Amino acid sequence: MFVVTGATGNVGRALVRTLYEAGEQVTAVARRITAADAPDGVRTVAADLTDPATLGPALRGARAAFLLVPPVLAPEADAGVMAAVEAAGVGRIVVLTSQSAATRPESPGHGLRVRHFEDQAMASGLGWTVIRPGGFASNAYAWAESVRARREVFAPFADVPLPVVHPDDIAEVGAATLRDPAHDGRTYVLTGPELITPRQMTAALGDALGEELAFTELTRAEARARMLAFMPEAVADGTLDILGEPTADEQKISPDVERVLGRAPHSFATWAGQNAAAFG
Ligand SMILES: NC(=O)c1ccc[n+]([C@@H]2O[C@H](COP(=O)([O-])OP(=O)(O)OC[C@H]3O[C@@H](n4cnc5c(N)ncnc54)[C@H](OP(=O)(O)O)[C@@H]3O)[C@@H](O)[C@H]2O)c1
């Protein structure tokens, strides 16, 4: 049995489905999960990664656990998470962090936070694999409301390209690494197959919808004000740094999806085609 935390999210939902379709037993975990959030036959358990004492019932009997770094800053809970995994007799973990662990190690809302979680995982004595994705294709869901209402995308840094990654690729790498201990001790950086700008993503979304979408570039300050409605200040500032002034490493296309899965990563256009209904 495998435990998947963050099981109602972009990555976790796809990971639960991938494992389930491969015939594995799965326990799906999030704070507010219900049976309706997972396929029939998948056990769902509500638990909170910032309160490690709640994790025990979910973890019991698992071969390996997929852990994401909870967005709420609770570094003191991280060691408790590893201890809960060990106490439940789970030998291996796959940890979903972020590329910023390496590229923005001092950024409070990005690398600093996830590095702490990684450090605890690596020091735990458990078998570990670390997955460090770049920005997700699914961040474009933030555009859904204005596309639905006005057929328009509002975004900063219109012409700065990044190799955004499809969450299904992260999920598939998660499934592969959970199932095979040969990945223990490895760190994988996951990106998409190509550099793409917000303006080009808008065009790809328009192609998926069969109509042209307008694009309005926001200033950094305008984008920040919008982001503060749904993320902490430190995370918004760190994200804007990456979107506006990516480092050379943040613009590199990583070979790791292909290395693990034996196929190229999916493009943003593929994600847009699969998720066009959210923008319809
Ligand atoms: N978006 C990006 O560009 C990007 C880039 C690099 C890394 N990441 C990281 O990748 C991870 C997964 O992203 P995603 O898009 O799949 O996330 P998401 O769609 O925002 O979903 C988050 C999932 O985690 C659960 N969760 C949140 N806090 C929790 C807690 N304290 N305890 C247990 N479960 C909790 C949520 O359910 P409940 O709210 O019900 O608990 C949900 O299932 C995140 O940690 C994110 O920081 C994202």
pLDDT tens digits along 73-86: 566 788 899 999 99
Distance (angstroms) between ligand 1 centre and the Cα of 168 equals 14
Q: What is the pLDDT of residue 73?
A: 57
Q: Answer whether 31 contacts ligand 1 (Cβ < 6 A).
A: yes
What's the distance, Cα to Cα, between the start and end of the chain in Å? 38
Domain map of the chain by residue range? 2-134+166-191+252-266
**pLDDT tier at 72, thresholds 50, 70, 90:** low
Q: What's the average model confidence in pLDDT over 228-254?
A: 96
- Rounded Cα gap, residues 274 and 280, in angstroms: 12
Q: How large a percentage of the chain has pLDDT more than 70?
A: 99
Mean pLDDT is lowest, of 38-42, 78-82, 143-147, for 78-82
Q: What is the pLDDT of residue 14?
A: 98
**pLDDT tier at 37, thresholds 50, 70, 90:** very high
Pocket test for ligand 1, best of 3, 16, 31 (most atoms within 8 A of CB): 31
Please check the confidence at residue 178 and state whether its pLDDT lies above 60.
yes
Distance (angstroms) between ligand 1 centre and the Cα of 71 equals 7
Report the half-sphere exposure of 30 (CA within 13 A, side-chain side). Answer: 17
Q: What is the pLDDT of residue 152?
A: 98
Q: Going by CA atoms, what residue is nearest to atom 8 of ligand 1? A: 98
Q: What is the pLDDT of residue 57?
A: 95
Distance (angstroms) between ligand 1 centre and the Cα of 210 equals 31
Distance (angstroms) between ligand 1 centre and the Cα of 30 equals 9
Q: What is the pLDDT of residue 98?
A: 97
- Rounded Cα gap, residues 66 and 2, in angstroms: 8
- Rounded Cα gap, residues 40 and 45, in angstroms: 14
Please check the confidence at residue 180 and state whether its pLDDT lies above 80.
yes
Q: What's the average model confidence in pLDDT over 54-83?
A: 88
Q: What is the pLDDT of residue 108?
A: 87
Report the half-sphere exposure of 155 (CA within 13 A, side-chain side). Answer: 27
DSSP label at 178? H
Please check the confidence at residue 128 and state whether its pLDDT lies above 70.
yes
CATH code linked to domain 2-134+166-191+252-266: 3.40.50.720
